[in-house]
Amino acid sequence: MSRPDSAVAKQHRPAPDFNLPLINGGQLRLSSYRGKVVLLDFWATWCVPCREETPHFVDLQQKYDGDGLQIIGVSMDDSTDPVRTFYQQFHINYPVVMGTADVGSAYGGVLGLPIAFLIDREGHIYAKHMGATDAAVFEKDITTLLQNR
Amino acid sequence: MKTAKRFTPLFLFAVFLISASAFAQWSSIAPGRLISPEDQAKMLQSGRDKPLMLQVGSHMLFLQAHIPGSEYIGPGANDAGLQQLRKRVEGLPRNKFIVLYCGCCPWNHCPNVKPADDALHTMGFTNVKVLYIADNFGTNWVDKGYPTAKGE
């Protein structure tokens, strides 16, 4: 089932690298996931469509973890506390980092949520999904990219 | 993870309630009190009837792009943001022309503008409009080529 507020743009540029703080301590560098298929999700705890997508991302991570999928959540919340609470309440099984305006700008401007990028194993952006997106659409992109080894 | 699947129905129900609440909120702003991005941009360019423009959504989004001359207040969805809003406007004449906007999410999902609008109404402000952003600030303002500023 497609959602009317979803839009996708195919892109092939290198995904801008970043080094951002994980909500539970430490840092995450995007380029360290080269070789994996990455779903980079810009979201926030106050964003209703983002919250609706979360359980689907948890399911996708569980389903394709062994095949090389890595979902990374980039929270655009103003503080970490609500993000940590949300992370625990919804049993998120992928890393979540605190985003910045600079990283948002590097990705073309995160000027509405949610926005998700599919990144191939070579670190290039395959697709950008703007707005709430059906899980089946993400899964189609993921399985396509996972086939390329 | 079995625990994730066990909580999914409860989570979806909770999200439904939140969504329904957000829908009820935005739908009760009278159409006559909405202003389109096109009209807002024209007003900016004309320099006439310049309102006090307040962004009541995400700071991260404000830093990346906002309407020139607008001020960041804080999310209308939480008490801290509403407190900041009340503090900002408390000394203003109650007929001051104010425009509220957000643009975080599609209009029917925005948790911020309606509580902010209600707060100003409760304080007695009579000349408040809300910028109608159908999809998000990027799509309905920036991509249309309307004036944009970055940073604080």
SS (H, E, C) chain B: CHHHHHHHHHHHHHHHHHHHHHHHHHHCCCHHHEECHHHHHHHHHHCCCCCEEEECCCHHHHHHCECCCCEECCCCCCHHHHHHHHHHHCCCCCCCCEEEECCCCCHHHCCCHHHHHHHHHHCCCCCEEEECCCCCHHHHHHCCCCCCECCC
Smallest Cβ–Cβ distance between B1 and the set A51, A93, A99 belongs to A93
Q: Is residue A3 pLDDT above 80, yes or no?
A: no
* Range in A60-74, A121-135, B39-53 with the lowest mean pLDDT: B39-53
Say what the pLDDT of residue A149 is.
Answer: 75
Residues in chain B within 8 Å Cβ distance of A55? 4, 7-8, 11-12
Angle between helices A48-64 and B2-27 (to 10 degrees): 160
Q: Please give the Cα distance from B24 to B19 (Å, whole number).
A: 9
Is any Cβ of chain B less than 8 angstroms from the Cβ of A58?
A: yes
Work out the pLDDT band at B24, boundaries 50, 70, 90.
Answer: very low
Measure in Å the smallest separation between the Cα of B94 and chain A Cα atoms. 30
B61-110 residue pLDDT tens? 999 999 999 999 999 998 999 999 999 999 999 999 999 999 999 998 89
Residue whose tokens read 């209308």:
B76
Sequence letter at residue B135: D
Q: What is the DSSP letter of A131?
A: S
If one counts the domains in chain A, the total is: 1
CATH number at B2-142:
3.40.250.10
Is any Cβ of chain B less than 8 angstroms from the Cβ of A131?
A: yes
- From B61, which residue of chain A is nearest by alpha-carbon distance? A111
Is any Cβ of chain B less than 8 angstroms from the Cβ of A44?
A: yes
Work out the pLDDT band at A10, boundaries 50, 70, 90.
Answer: low
Q: Please give the Cα distance from A79 to A97 (Å, whole number).
A: 11
Q: What is the β-pairing status of strands A37-43 and A115-119?
A: antiparallel
Average pLDDT, chain A: 92
Q: Please give the Cα distance from A72 to A23 (Å, whole number).
A: 12
Q: What is the ipTM of this complex?
A: 0.83
Domain boundaries, chain B: 2-142
Measure in Å the smallest separation between the Cα of B74 and chain A Cα atoms. 10
Say what the pLDDT of residue B15 is.
Answer: 55
Q: What is the DSSP letter of A90?
A: T
Residues in chain A within 8 Å Cβ distance of B58? 44, 46, 76, 78, 113
Rounded mean pLDDT of B35-58? 92
Which of A50, A92, A111 to probe by mutation at the B interface, max B CB count within 10 Å?
Answer: A111
Q: Is the dihedral of CA B69, B74, B79, B84 positive or negative?
A: negative
Rounded mean pLDDT of A32-56? 95
Sort residue B29 into left (φ over 0), alpha (ψ -120 to 50) or beta. beta
The CATH number of the domain where A129 resides is what?
A: 3.40.30.10
Q: How far is CA A36 from CA A118, A120, B48, B60, B105, in A?
A: 11, 7, 54, 28, 30
Say what the pLDDT of residue B50 is.
Answer: 87
